Structure 1
């Protein structure tokens, strides 16, 4: 099931029923308005976003684009990102009337134009399944087809009802959402520390640079380590278990060995490590509507010392990565070393975003190490 942006208009019978019901309530009234309905509600709220009446502040900003005080404007998500395509154009007629209030002459007439229908690659069955799986926890998940790049799910929990947001939350509803988990926060556009999921990237960068020999072993006793002769003071890289055996690349991936990948980052050095990360798209916007935060390898101060470099080798340090970008990075091992182009619209073309991030030989080697 794919998601389609569209206007939903009630049937005449539904309007008649609502009018009849409201007439039974003293003091109640209603009026018909056109608007967007979000049939998947909170399951896709952060993805779709919502429309709201344009504010005076935004009207000043958008008046040169033909917006008027009665128009609506995309506030968040794809409603905002695709505003120009979804909006359409208003129509109107300029005419004169005679003394009998009859139209005498049409001077100018402009036909209204509908906005686009945009069909996404999102699989709503999968979106719903992931949403339910996260449940009451705060979290996010993305899913992407590894060979054609179609984005299949973008989920953020907790969520909210965009249909309520479109008409405006009541003070009670807004108060209920002012929690530590913040339902209005779109988590799948944010960046996070990738942790151990980054180790595959460190391996790929080391293989490409020639500093990592997959058969060479590292023999460390105990759960903590620092390079011999280092000036790290009391700081040490730690791992969960002492495996009591030498560790090569395959075992390091299986054991998720922090020490192994810390040493590989140090073997690479700052320049080669940073250059390899750039090959994976760090520092670049994802080639999608501009709602995703950009992954970064370091903070504003750059790589400050060898401790940060070592920690970065196993996905800590100051590395921040968007979850969709992380999924894209893993497509390299099933696409001959190329990173797939993400596709969000059903009629979008599949392709390569980053070519030859690693050789096919190294992609095959990493895939084999995981199997």
Structure 2
């Protein structure tokens, strides 16, 4: 009772509220539950109905993968059907960006970098270029070694999002043979990708970078295909949902004869320079050799820093010297002779005295033998390559006449060969060019120098071969070409409209070079009669360049061969003529073998 008496007094009204609070708690719980269920319902409605299509697409993106199929590149054949560039089976490594969250990729990239010996920054750059949400595979390395392929297979569980697959890569069965003609393939640069993305090219795609591989890229490349596949959480393919076959690139056949090319490169040896052989009837390029050279196979795998430094060396192995311009020297006397007779100022039978030198404006322009050759006709002057004979011709006909004929022969512009991106136009100097570049007037000394292919005159070995084709085919300028595309039905030549008298003088002079002039080393019994011309170009501050061009058989020419030796230090008749001889021997030996094998 004492305890009860000590309790405070509680009014009845307060006791009544305690009972009411219990009902209020229940009400609040019910209200909260209703609100929560409503909120979940609304969110579910939004996800399934309002945003249903988008979310289903995201779910599909996480389980559906687009696997691109690279098209097989077309094969390049020589004129006789021998493979110049084909394909071999190798392994390619690619990554699937969407397979992993962004924060998981660094670990995979570091592991992949060690196996492939590819800098992690390079892989990271590819990944960022594609985007972390990309569902397309991105090529990281191709042509990997068997050891690398084995290592990747062993580390499969540690390399999620990485794919190892078999793929055809470019193969050049002849190594560095005809490398400058064939070219090489390589992955698109960032600039190339921007320019070609609209054409269907993609990150990591392979394109022709030089030579025929580049010139005929649109034909050789083909069209991408692909598969839409369903994958599990580890990126393994569960099923194929759709398949678009890749369309292989088309094969092409070049005019090059690989055996004649082999002979040309052997004749050139390890001498900086070029050898070009063309058919003067059509302009078909039969051989185009340049040294130094390179092996295009090195670009089918990841090139090392040391290899790249070597390829960028001082001797410029990438440079196709057949398409680079140099002073054409006395081979150019073919043009000067044509200009003289066509001008009407010289009769085809003209005879002129020659001298140790000719003095003009206080300057002595000497003959190459420092003595002169006595009286000479046009054929005789070509046979002995008399400089003072042609100096006199240039002084009389004048610069504009000589320049006009030079351009008629096709000098000063690209020949039209498919390798135009690598070809120099050369240079035909004139009054306007000299004023613009040297702020000087054209003087008679410029005409004198130009008459013997010196001064500012520049021509490529291919242009010089084109020049020899004019007398060989009786007055037509041909368009050199590499694609053997029904060539007998194509119009590859244009008349220079030279008179019969001019053509006859050229025939006589070029033949006398061989029978009794500077090219007597080619006057051999085992070859058909041929015609030609030597040239030795001054090339300060280095040694002189050597030239020789010839065509055969003399009566019905079917091949022109021009050899050029850069800074050789010797005369054209001694240095370049033996190269031409070796190529002609190979050509006519093959011709004889083919005739003997015919039924």
Q: State the TM-score, normalizing by the size of structure 2.
A: 0.54
Structure 2 counterpart of 1:365, from 505, 520, 540: 505
Partner SS state of residue 33, structure 1: strand
Partner SS state of residue 43, structure 1: coil
Structure 1 counterpart of 2:362, from 233, 240, 262: 233
Residue 269 (structure 1) aligned with residue 398 (structure 2): yes
CA distance in 2, matches of 1:295, 1:321: 5
| Contact 2:264-2:275 at 8 Å conserved across structures | yes
Following superposition, the deviation at residue 220 of structure 1 comes to: 3.5
Residue 335 (structure 1) aligned with residue 335 (structure 2): no
Following superposition, the deviation at residue 6 of structure 1 comes to: 4.6
| Equivalent residue, structure 1, for 2:518 | none
The one-character-per-residue Cα deviations of 1:209-240 (angstroms, maximum 9, x if unpaired) are 1122232222244x2112xxx4x223424332
Residue 248 (structure 1) aligned with residue 388 (structure 2): no
| Higher deviation after alignment, 115-124 or 358-367 | 358-367
Matches within 5 A, 1:1-371: 2=79, 4=83, 6-10=85-89, 32-93=166-227, 102=239, 106=242, 110-221=244-355, 223-226=356-359, 230=360, 232-243=361-372, 245-289=374-418, 290=420, 291-298=422-429, 300-301=433-434, 304-350=442-488, 351-371=491-511
The one-character-per-residue Cα deviations of 1:32-80 (angstroms, maximum 9, x if unpaired) are 4321111222121111111111122321222122110021121111212
Considering only aligned residues, what root-mean-square deviation do their CA atoms show, in Å?
A: 3.1
CA distance in 1, matches of 2:372, 2:362: 25
CA gap 1:177/1:70 in 2 versus in 1, 3 angstroms: closer
**Larger % of strand: which?**
2
Unaligned runs of 5+ in 2: 1-77, 91-144, 157-163, 232-236, 436-440, 512-599
CA distance in 1, matches of 2:313, 2:340: 43
Q: State the TM-score, normalizing by the size of structure 1.
A: 0.85
CA gap 1:7/1:209 in 2 versus in 1, 3 angstroms: same
CA distance in 2, matches of 1:344, 1:22: 39
Which one has more relative contact order, counting CA pairs under 8 Å at least 6 apart?
Answer: 1
CA distance in 2, matches of 1:284, 1:178: 28
Partner SS state of residue 36, structure 1: strand
The one-character-per-residue Cα deviations of 1:117-139 (angstroms, maximum 9, x if unpaired) are 11111111111111112212111
Q: Which has the larger radius of gyration?
A: 2
Following superposition, the deviation at residue 343 of structure 1 comes to: 3.3
Unaligned runs of 5+ in 1: 12-17
CA distance in 1, matches of 2:225, 2:283: 39
| Contact 2:89-2:168 at 8 Å conserved across structures | no
CA distance in 2, matches of 1:28, 1:332: 65
Partner SS state of residue 286, structure 2: strand
**Larger % of helix: which?**
2
Partner SS state of residue 155, structure 1: strand
CA distance in 2, matches of 1:236, 1:250: 22
